A and B are shown apart, each in its own frame.
Chain A
Amino acid sequence: MTTKAAAKAPHLDLAALVDDPGTRIVVCCGAGGVGKTTTAAALGLVAAERGRRVVVLTIDPARRLAQSLGLTELDNTPRPVAGVDPASGGSLDAMMLDMKRTFDDVVEQHATPEKAAQILANPFYQAVSSSFAGTQEYMAMEKLGQLRAQAEEDDSWDLIIVDTPPSRSALDFLDAPKRLGSFLDGRFIRLLMAPAKAGGRAYLKVLSGGVTLATQTMGKILGNSMLDDVQTFVAALDTMFGGFRERADVTYALLGADETAFVVVAAPERDALREAAYFVERLDAERMPLAGVVLNRMQRLAAGSLSASRAASAAEELADGEESPTARTTSGLLLLHEDLAETAARQRAHATRFVAGHPGVPVTEVPAAAQDIHDLDGLREVGGALLR
C-alpha cells in the first residue's frame, strides 16, 4: 500500500493518543456510513487491551456490532464487555444511549419529585424528549458529562470514548451553552412564564402591549389548551434550566480541555470528505482539540506493483493469445485487479486533495475490511489498523 498522501500529512498516532494517561476523552465524529461507531468501539477495545479502563458510549450501533459488544438491551447503563483480554490490567464497558431516559434522569435529578412528576407527564415534555431535533446531540453530551463525573467519583474509568450522532448537527452540542443561554434570557420565555409566575394579570403591567399581542396570537394559532401546556412545561423546566445551562458550560469546557481529543472519521469519497472538512474546520473555529482524521475503508491492493492499465492490457492479450489452461482465471484476476487499482487511485486522489486543503491535520489510514465487523476479533483487527 502506498502512503504518499499520508506522508505529506503528519501521521495521526492513535497508539500514542490512547496510551497517554492524560487522554481521558476521545470524541469520534463524522458523517453517517463511514464506520464511526465501529471506529469508536475498536479504539475502545484496543485501548482496554493496552491497559486503559475504558467506557464506550455508542449512539446507534449496527445490530451485529452491538451484539459483539454484548449490548443486547438499551438500558442506558455501561455494562462490561465479555471477551476482552485483561492481561494488561485494562477493562472495557459499553453502553448505548437512550436519549429519553437520559433526559428523564436529568429532570428527576434537578427538580423536586413533585415537579419532576409534573414535567414527565406534560405532553410537551414528552414530545421534546423524544423528538426534539437535536435532543440526541444534547443528551449524548449530557451522558458524557455524567460518565466523566462518575469516572472522577469512583474511578471506574480512565478513558471515555464517545460516538456522536451521524449528522452535521452532531456538532450542535458545541452551541448548546450559547443556545440555551439566549433561549433562557429571551423575552419570549419570560413572556411564556409570566402568567404562571405572576398568577393573573400582574404581568401585563411589566410587559409591553406588543407582548400581549404576541400571546394572543400564539393562543389563536396554537389553541389555548396547547398554549397552557407550553406554559406549564416551560414554567416547570424553569427551575432545572439553571442547572442545565451550568452543566452545558462545564461540558463545553471539558470538550475544549487538554484531556479531550476529537477524532474525525471519514471515508475516501467526495461527500464523506466534504463532511470531514466541515468537522475539521468547525472544530478549529471553536478551538476544540482535534487529534486528527481517520481515513477509513481505504482500498488495499495485495498486488500493488501492477498498475491498472498494465493489468487491463495483459488481460486483453491473454484473452487473444494462446490458451493456457489457466488463461481464463488469470485474465479474471487481472480484470479484478484493474478495477481495484482504479478505485484505489481514485481514493488516493480524494485523500490527497483533502490533505492539501487541510495542511498540518494529522491523518491515519485504515484499510477496508472485506467483511462487516460483528465480533471482537474483527474489532481487534480494525483497532490494530487504527493504531498503526
Chain B
Amino acid sequence: MSTPATFPGVRLHVVTGKGGTGKTTVAGALALALARRGKRVLLVEVEGRQGIAQTFDVPPLGTEEERLVSDPSGGEVFGLSIDAKAALLEYLHTFYKLGRAGSVLEKVGAIDFATTIAPGVRDVLLTGKVYEAVGRRTGGRSSTGRNKGGQPIYDAVVLDAPPTGRVVRFLAVNEQLADMAKAGPIRSQADSITEMMRSKETAVHIVTLLEEMPVQETIDAIAELRAERLPVGAIVVNQVREEILDDDELAAVAKAVTQPSPELAEAVRADLTAVGVKATAAMAQGLLTEAAEHADRVALQREQEADVVAQGLPVYRLPSLPDGLDSGGITVLADALGEQGVA
C-alpha cells in the first residue's frame, strides 16, 4: 500500500476518471475535505451537466460563484459551472474593454462560433477561467499579472474535469493553441495557462473503480499526462465495497466452492435448518453459487488493486455508498479523504 500524500502546495486539483467512476462526486468530496481544514475552495465544473448542484443538492448553478458549504472551521466551498460564452464575454471585457465590439461580435454570431464551433476555443476559455480563479487575488481581479501583493481569494480550486479520454487534450489545449497563434495576446495567455498546468501548484487526480476498463484507462491516462508533462496527483479508488468476509471466512467459503460436494450443500442445509431457516437443497446450493461468484469477483478486484498500486502513486480509497449521495453521502466521502491525509 502506498502512503497517501497530502498535496500541501497544490492549489489546483484536477479530478478526472473514466465516465461512470464518480469523478464529480469525488471532486465534490475533495472540495469538502479541503474546506473542513479551514480552506476556501472553489469547485468548478466545465461540462454544463450541473453535477455539482446534484452532488450538493442545491438549485442549478449559474455563471456566478455561489457558496455551497460553510464549515465551522471557517472553510468554505463555492461552486461554479463555467459557461464558455460567459467566459468569453468576460474575457473580452477584461482584456479589451470591449463595449460595443463585444455586442457586435455577439450579434454577428462570432461568440457562438467561438464557443461551439471553433476548435479548442471552448476548452481554452474554460481553462482560462480556471486559471483566472486560481490566480485571483484580493485587491483586484488579476489573472495576467499575478499581482503578488494581495492574498489569493481561493486557497484551492477543484476542477471536475472532462473524462480520462479527453482530459489531456483539455488541459493541454493551450499548448495546441499556442501552436496556432504565433503571437499576440492569446498566445501569451495560452503560455501562462500551460505553465500553471505544469507547475507544482497543479495535481491531476484520477478516479477509478476496481474494474478492468477504468483501471486500464487510468494507467493510459497516467502515461498521457506524463507525456504532456502534466503533474499526476493521486489515484482515487471509488466505491470500494466493504469486505463482507474476513480472510478466514473467505478461505472457508472459497474452499467450499473449489471443492463442491453434495455433502457440503447438505451440511449447509442442516446448519440453516438448525437456526430455523426453512432451507431446501436448492437454497443451500444457491448460497454456494453466490459465494463462487463472489470469490471470482474478489480475485478480479485484487488483480485490479495490484495494478493500481503498481503505479507507485498515492492511492486514496473511498467506500461504496449503499444509498448513493442521499443522506449525507458526500460527507462520508470527505471524511474518508480527510482520514487518509488530504489537506
Contact = CB atoms under 8 A, between A and B. Distances in A.
Interface of A: 31-34, 60, 62-64, 123-124, 127-128, 131-133, 166-168, 179, 183, 186-189, 191, 210-211, 213-214, 216-218, 220-223, 225-226, 229-230, 267, 269-272, 301-306, 310, 314, 317-318, 321-322, 324-337, 339-340, 342-343, 346, 370-372
Most buried by B among A189, A214, A334, A372: A214
Interface in B105-140: 105, 107-110, 112-113, 116-120, 122-123
B187 to A, nearest CB: 7
Interface string B212-229: 111010000000000000
Contacts of A321: 274-275
A62 B267 CA distance: 42
Top 4 nearest A-B pairs (CB, nearest first) are A33-B20, A32-B19, A303-B286, A223-B184
Contact of A326 (B185, B264, B285): B264
A331 B285 CA distance: 14
A214 B119 contact: no
B275 A314 contact: yes
Most chain B CB inside 10 Å of its own CB: which residue of A62, A270, A303, A370: A303
Contacts of A310: 277
A269 to B, nearest CB: 7
Given A34-B20, A128-B119, A329-B253, A214 B108 contact: yes
Interface in B187-236: 187, 209, 211-214, 216
A310 B279 CA distance: 12
A269 B113 contact: no
Contacts of A301: 286, 290
Nearest to A188: B109
B122 A333 contact: no
Given A214-B108, A339-B244, A131 B169 contact: yes
Contacts, number: 223
Nearest to A183: B117
A183 B264 CA distance: 71
A217 B113 CA distance: 14
Contact of A333 (B18, B100, B186, B253): B253
A272 B21 CA distance: 11
Interface residues of B, number: 86
Given A183-B117, A223-B181, A168 B275 contact: no
Contact of A223 (B19, B119, B186, B212): B186
Contact of A127 (B101, B180, B271, B275): B180
What is the predominant secondary structure among interface residues of chain B facing chain A?
Answer: helix
Contact of B109 (A32, A187, A305): A187
A379 to B, nearest CB: 15
A347 to B, nearest CB: 11
12 contacts: A31-B20, A124-B119, A128-B119, A188-B112, A210-B107, A213-B100, A218-B105, A314-B272, A328-B248, A330-B272, A330-B287, A335-B244
B104 A303 contact: no
B116 A326 contact: no
B249 A167 contact: no
Candidate in B173, B244, B290 with the most chain A CB atoms within 10 angstroms: B290
B21 A33 contact: yes
B146 interface: no
B276 interface: yes
Contacts of B277: 306, 310, 314
Contacts of A62: 212-213, 216
